[in-house]
Amino acid sequence: MKPALLCSLTVLLASVAVPATALSEGPLYTVVEGYKVDANTMQGFRTWRSAACDRCHGPNQEGLVGPSLIERLKVLTPEEFKTTVLGGRMAKGMPSFGENTKVTEHIDQLYAYLKGRSDGAITRAKVVEIEQ
């Protein structure tokens, strides 16, 4: 019953706030109408763009030369995600972003944005910030 209830609430409010696990206090991301997000998640989107992740993972995270992040984020734990992005997976062609300060400083926000996309809560790649 509980998932159904949550689901109908989601529809009713058109808003999702997913609790963070180990990353930080408060919700991991908040999204309204599928594309309006909190400041944290918005920063994650900016990080995604500035690091040009779309060149390998596709403009909608659907995967190109690199795998679909919609799928991968269903599998990777937040810690595994961090290890992969910051350390890279050279054998697979995934570069290390450990020296890219835009990424290292905002790795949690990047995770929040991509997790929101993977969860299906953020329904399009391009997001805007919820107006205060």
Partner 1 sequence: MDMAFKHRLIAGVVFAWAGFAHADAQLDRAMQDPGNWAAQAGDNYNQRYSSLKQINASNVGKMQAAWTFSTGVLRGHEGSPLVVDGIMYIHTPFPNNVFAMDLKTQEILWKYEPKQDSAVVAQMCCDTVNRGVAYGDGKIFLQRADSVLDALDAKTGKVVWSVKNGDAKLGAVNTNAPHVFGDKVITGISGGEWGVRGHLTAYDIKTGKLAWRGYSNGPDEEMLMDPDKTVTWTDGKLAPVGKDSSLKTWKGDQWKTGGGTTWGWYSYDKELNLVYYGTGNPSTWNPSQRPGDNKWSMSIWARDLNTGKVKWVYQMTPHDEWDFDGINEMILADIDVKGKKTKALVHFDRNGFAYTLDRTTGALLVAEKFDPAVNWATHVDMKTGRPQVVAKYSTQQNGPDVNTKGVCPAALGSKDQQPASFDPKTGLFYVPTNHVCMDYEPFEVEYTAGQPYVGATLAMYPAPQSHGGMGNFIAWDAGKGKIAWSKPEKFSVWSGALTTAGDVIFYGTLEGYLKAVSLKDGKELWKFKTPSGIIGNVFTYMHQGKQYVGVYSGIGGWAGIGMAAGLEKDNDGLGAVGGYRDLQKHTALGGSLTVFALPD
Q: Which residues bind partner 1 (CB under 8 A)?
A: 49-52, 54-56, 58-60, 62-66, 70, 88, 90, 93, 95-96, 99-102, 124-126
- Cβ nearer to partner 1, comparing 26 with 120: 120
Find the shortest distance in angstroms from Cβ 56 to partner 1. Answer: 5
Q: Which two tokens stand for residue 38?
A: 């909190």
d(CA 18, CA 2): 15
Residue with tokens 């180990």: 22
CB of 69 to partner 1, least distance (A): 11
Closer residue to partner 1 (CB): 26 or 59: 59
Alpha carbons 109 and 39: distance in angstroms, whole number? 9
Give me the helix-helix angle, 107-119 and 78-87, nearest 10°.
120
Beta strands in the chain (DSSP E): 15-19, 27-32, 36-37, 128-129
Least gap, CB of 60 to partner 1 (angstroms): 6
In angstroms, give the least distance from the CB of 79 to partner 1.
22
Q: Which residue number, 13 or 65, has a Cβ lying nearer to partner 1?
A: 65
